[in-house]
Amino acid sequence: MRKMSMAVVALAVVAALISGCSGSKPARYGIKSGTIKYEINPGQGLTLEQTLYFDDFGREEAVVTNSMNVMGTDTVYRHTLSITTPQYIYSIDMDSKSGVRLYNDPSKMVKKMLEVIENSDLSDEQKQQLSTIVKQQEENFNTEMPLIKEIKELEPVRTDTFMGKECEVYKVNRTLNAEVYMWNRIPLKIVDATGNVLQKAVEIDTEPVKAEVFEVPEEVEVQDYIERFAESLKRQSG
């Protein structure tokens, strides 16, 4: 079972990687393209600056995140990039110049992982156990943000203006206890129940975005997740 635990961890990692990305093929946003810069303050010493770039109504998307985490006397900086295209999702660590590529299709991800398991050298019992786990994870591979899922089930409680944009305000309590200001289906501000601003847009630009923004930087080495998963199983069965 120790060998199996590594594969389970790998599944958890891939689910986390894609949980925040857009995988929906229909239009995600109500405007064609734009660039939005955010300040995010989740607390506990962590602050983030994030820039969202999108085109084709959100079918193509890039998110640049610069974070600073103060832990006692230490300060840790991280720089990440996620890119979503209709075919793939890329999760990139810009500090190490490395990343992973996933299919932007939950059912395809599961199918490919099941094929890898079947062709591995794991025992029949291990194959059955891991295949069951993979199938159970398919819903987690749905790449729509849980917050957006919840909002889709709600009606706005009011309208309000933020950054000169008329927003629909939603009260959420499942993913967060907060109010979310939505403009063209884009979250512009999130305010928790105590009035703390967890996230807010500080710049909004609706001009077209250059195509190279949605391309993986040349200096980044990207590995396909399915290949990484296969290598992991090979090590565990070796």
Residue (of 15, 217, 233, 225) closest to 103 by Cα position? 225
Which residues neighbour 216 within 8 Å (Cβ) at sequence distance 6 or greater?
83, 90, 92, 99, 222
Q: Describe the crossing of helices 124-136 and 2-18 by its angle, rounded to 10 degrees.
A: 20
Residue predicted with more confidence, 189 or 9: 189
Q: Edge to edge, what strands does the sheet with 74-84 contain?
A: 158-162, 165-172, 178-183, 186-192, 197-205, 34-43, 46-55, 60-71, 74-84, 88-93, 98-103, 221-224
Read off the pLDDT of each residue in 51-68 and give the average, rounded to a whole number: 95
- Which pLDDT belongs to residue 20? 44
Percentage of the chain modeled with pLDDT above 70: 87
Read off the pLDDT of each residue in 169-182 and give the average, rounded to a whole number: 94
Q: Which helix (H) or strand (E) holds 238?
A: none
Beta strands in 136-233 (DSSP E): 158-162, 165-172, 178-183, 186-192, 197-205, 221-224
pLDDT, averaged across the chain: 87
Residue predicted with more confidence, 193 or 17: 193
- Which pLDDT belongs to residue 16? 41
8 and 233 Cβ atoms separated by less than 8 Å:
no
- Which pLDDT belongs to residue 129? 93
- Which pLDDT belongs to residue 6? 40
CA angle 188, 20, 61 (to 5 degrees): 70
- Which pLDDT belongs to residue 147? 85
| Confidence check: pLDDT of 48 > 60 | yes
pLDDT tens per residue, range 125-170 = 999 999 999 988 777 666 677 888 899 999 999 999 999 999 999 9
| Confidence check: pLDDT of 229 > 70 | yes
Task: Report if pTM > 0.85.
Answer: no
Each domain of the chain, given as residue ranges in start order, spans: 2-144+207-237
pLDDT tens per residue, range 2-41 = 444 444 434 443 444 444 444 446 889 999 999 999 999 8
- Which pLDDT belongs to residue 24? 45
Phi and psi (nearest 5°) for 87? Answer: -95, -40
- Which pLDDT belongs to residue 96? 96
Residue predicted with more confidence, 2 or 187: 187
Q: Which of 16-20, 66-70, 72-76, 173-177 shows the lowest per-residue confidence on average (mean pLDDT)? A: 16-20
How sure is the predictor about 179, in pLDDT bands with cuts at 50, 70 and 90? Answer: very high
Read off the pLDDT of each residue in 46-67 and give the average, rounded to a whole number: 94
